[in-house]
Amino acid sequence: MASCIQKIFDGIEIGEKRESLKIETGENPSIVRSYVIAGTYSVAAATAAGRDFLVHEFGSPPVCDGLPITGTRLQPYAGVPAWNFEATFAPRKIDDKDKVEESNYSFNATSGTAKILYSLETVAAVTVDGRDVIDYYGGINANESGGFDGVERTVPNPGFSISQSHPMGWFTRSTRILAMSMVGCINADYFDGYAPGEVMFKGIEAKTARYLDAFGIQQTYWQATYSFGVMPNRIIKFGDADVLKCGWDYAWRTVETRENPVTGKKESYPIQLNIERVHYPITFSSLCLDLPE
């Protein structure tokens, strides 16, 4: 298991095996590189670290000496938190545009409806009888139980999807496990121009497709569509503070209920703003997607 070129990804160590490089030339050239991944028993974590390493070393999607990546293979070492990780680079055999569906990038900037409990800003508040204005810190429609009923309004619902064709060796069992474990996670780094915390990986739909090549031989490949949702980061004003809320984080207020000395009714007073991280942040580079400019 001796290796060189040590890298650390989220506490997992990766090193390329000495004399791991296998090169085939001729009509079917290929390059195979082998690595040792140490520090985890998790298939998904090992696969993510290995693919992140390939993106770091060879770009996204990875290309080695002019050959694109066509698949990865992961095998465990018995009894230890370590894996043999193998990457194969070869000419894509699914690039016949007359027979194979091309990669595609689509996005939407649509809207939907949702109940919101807090506004972006209280623009005006006017009282009668000279009583003091109650500062609800953006709370909408205070109720007698100490909370807010909110209001229905139109909200943005943007997102985008990326469709790509992959060789059959692309979705190995470990890669499928990785993709499923990433569903519902948010971007820890900048992704497709979006700041950390703004993009959620909503899932992947992949199916096999077939075509006849120039020799009349049936070939099979993957058609995969990766879907993402977008929730922009924003600043929430609370008292004298400007608080950053990353897009998919959850913001809530601690409310104190007091009796109004004039009306005798209970009224809600937010006294604390809380920002909660409710989705795991991970790097999306392990998806190895070819993003357009």
Among the ranges 113-127, 137-151, 161-175, which has the highest mean pLDDT value?
Answer: 161-175
Residue 100: is its pLDDT beyond 80? Answer: no
Report whether pLDDT(39) > 70.
Answer: yes
Q: What is the mean pLDDT of residues 207-228?
A: 83
pLDDT for 105: 81
pLDDT bracket for residue 281 (50, 70, 90): very high
pLDDT bin (cut points 50, 70, 90) of residue 202 is very high
Q: What is the pLDDT of residue 38?
A: 93
117: pLDDT strictly greater than 60: yes
Position with higher pLDDT, 58 vs 291:
58
Other C-beta atoms lying within 10 Å of the C-beta of residue 59: 14
Mean pLDDT in residue range 165-190: 90
pLDDT score for 4: 47
- Whole-number Cα distances in Å, 123 to 222, 235, 253, 260, 273: 53, 16, 19, 23, 19
Q: What pLDDT is attached to residue 14?
A: 93
Q: Which residue has the tokens 């490089």?
A: 21
Query: pTM for the whole thing?
Result: 0.75
Quick one: pLDDT at residue 213?
65
Give me the pLDDT at residue 99, please: 67
Least confident of 146-150, 175-179, 242-246: 146-150
Q: Is 216 exposed, middle or buried (0-12, 13-18, 19+ CB in 10 A)?
A: exposed
Structure confidence at residue 47 (pLDDT) = 92
pLDDT > 80? residue 53 = yes
Q: Of 44-48, 104-108, 216-220, where does mean pLDDT reach its minimum?
A: 216-220
| pLDDT score for 2 | 40
Between 92 and 54, where is the model more confident? 54
- Count CA atoms within 13 Å of residue 17 on its CB side: 16
> Residue 229: which pLDDT band, with cuts at 50, 70 and 90?
very high
State the Cα–Cα distance between residues 102 and 115, nearest whole angstrom.
40
Listed in sequence order, the residues at least 6 apart from 116 whose beta carbon sits closer than 8 Å to its beta carbon are 140, 150, 151, 153, 155
Mean pLDDT of the chain: 84
Which one is predicted more confidently, 91 or 135? Answer: 91
Cβ atoms of 267 and 132 closer than 8 Å: no
pLDDT in tens, 231-279: 999 888 888 889 999 999 988 888 787 777 767 777 777 888 899 999 9
Confidence check: pLDDT of 40 > 70:
yes
